[in-house]
């Protein structure tokens, strides 16, 4: 269903495919004007058409989030053409599936520049503007892997850990300043996105999401919700909560479990094509949409997030029920 165009503007990095593209659709479906930033020009043009199909204004800027100057110029251009940015979603990422012993230093640098520093640069580009207006919302796209590193993804896990540290520092500063800028982080599970066909890999078999897989639309709804509410953190998927709390309570057990299942659990039984394109340095040509190849194994709903965003109502209901049970016992007693 098409929406009336509003004055609200959401900006998304890494939105030419996968989760970012799902977020662009979700924002547009809720009446936001949407600007997207990524490297793949063909895909960006397609995303813009999708945004406009909802009746919203769409815009794209071709830029690499690892280039702080280019990203700042992209933000300036969006404000000049669309207006004041209300929401920024820091989503862009790249990764390498590889044992640490086979990684190259420049691969660590590139993953860090995109997956961690891309979120820093995006934040810096909008923060001064939002501070001058004393309003706005910034969403950091996190992961269960921001709390727990897993084998074969050391560069990605380290970058998500860094994002978490940066976010916490910024949040404390904004609270000290009594700022009206909202910032939130959304910790995500494994998702059925296009990244598993794009990512650089040294694995023998094709990479796959580890654990319970969710469709990207589930995460997109959580990210849009987070952008509109002043909550510190959201968790999508029980697997995310299980990973975080399991590592808090018994990291040694998680080490042991991952040593036994973490390698095979991230690979299918299909051999990898060593000659295929990957997106570490340059975008993979073409328009690739939102979904990866694991749709039949993916969930379309997260019960944990449903409870998470209603937690105050749920807790109130639980307390009422407990009070009723206690009153009943006392009366009968």
**How far from 266 is each of 43, 148, 154, 202, CA to CA, in Å?**
27, 15, 13, 12
As a whole number of angstroms, the distance between CA 74 and CA 240 comes to: 33
**How far from 215 is each of 189, 272, 287, 292, 297, CA to CA, in Å?**
10, 23, 19, 9, 9
What strands, in cross-sheet order, belong to the sheet with 298-299? 190-191, 213-214, 298-299
Contact (CB, 8 A) for 185 and 164: yes
As a whole number of angstroms, the distance between CA 311 and CA 71 comes to: 36
As a whole number of angstroms, the distance between CA 159 and CA 258 comes to: 19
CA atoms within 13 A on the CB side of 133: 14
**What burial class does residue 204 get, using C-beta atoms within 10 Å of its C-beta: 0-12 exposed, 13-18 middle, 19+ buried?**
exposed
Contact (CB, 8 A) for 240 and 189: yes
Structure letter (DSSP) for residue 207: E
Polymer length in residues for the chain: 333
Tokens of 299: 């969930």
Active site residues: 156
As a whole number of angstroms, the distance between CA 196 and CA 208 comes to: 6
- For residue 208, which of 283, 298, 139, 284 has the smallest C-alpha distance? 298
When computed from its CA atoms, the radius of gyration of the chain, rounded to whole angstroms, is 21
As a whole number of angstroms, the distance between CA 65 and CA 36 comes to: 12
As a whole number of angstroms, the distance between CA 216 and CA 297 comes to: 13
């Amino acid at each position: 269903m098409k929406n009336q165009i509003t004055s609200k503007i959401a900006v998304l990095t890494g939105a030419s495919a996968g989760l970012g593209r799902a977020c662009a659709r979700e924002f547009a479906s809720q009446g936001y004007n949407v600007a997207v930033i990524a490297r793949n020009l063909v895909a960006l043009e397609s995303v813009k058409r999708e945004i406009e199909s909802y009746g919203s204004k769409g815009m794209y800027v071709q830029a690499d989030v690892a280039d702080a100057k280019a990203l700042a110029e992209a933000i300036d251009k969006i404000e000049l053409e669309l207006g004041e940015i209300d929401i920024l979603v820091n989503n862009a990422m790249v990764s390498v599936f590889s044992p640490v012993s086979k990684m190259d230093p420049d691969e660590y640098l590139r993953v860090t520049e995109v997956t961690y520093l891309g979120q820093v640069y995006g934040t810096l580009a909008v923060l001064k503007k939002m501070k001058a207006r004393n309003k706005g919302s910034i969403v950091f796209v996190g992961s269960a892997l921001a709390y727990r590193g897993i084998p074969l993804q050391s560069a990605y896990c380290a970058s998500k850990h860094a994002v978490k540290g940066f976010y916490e520092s910024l949040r404390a500063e904004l609270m000290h300043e009594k700022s009206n800028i909202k910032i939130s982080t959304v910790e995500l599970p494994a998702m059925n996105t296009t990244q598993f066909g794009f990512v650089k890999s040294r694995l023998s078999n094709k990479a796959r999401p580890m654990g319970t897989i969710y469709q990207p639309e589930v995460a997109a709804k959580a990210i849009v919700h987070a952008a509109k509410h002043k909550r510190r953190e959201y968790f999508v998927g029980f697997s995310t909560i299980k990973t975080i709390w399991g590592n808090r309570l018994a990291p040694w057990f998680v080490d042991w479990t991952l040593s036994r299942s973490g390698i095979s659990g991230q690979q299918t039984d299909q051999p990898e094509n060593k000659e295929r394109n990957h997106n570490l340095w340059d975008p993979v040509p073409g328009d690739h949409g939102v979904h990866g190849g694991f749709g039949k194994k993916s969930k379309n709903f997260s019960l944990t997030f449903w409870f998470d965003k209603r937690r105050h109502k749920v807790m109130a209901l639980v307390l009422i029920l407990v009070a009723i049970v206690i009153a009943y016992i006392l009366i009968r007693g």
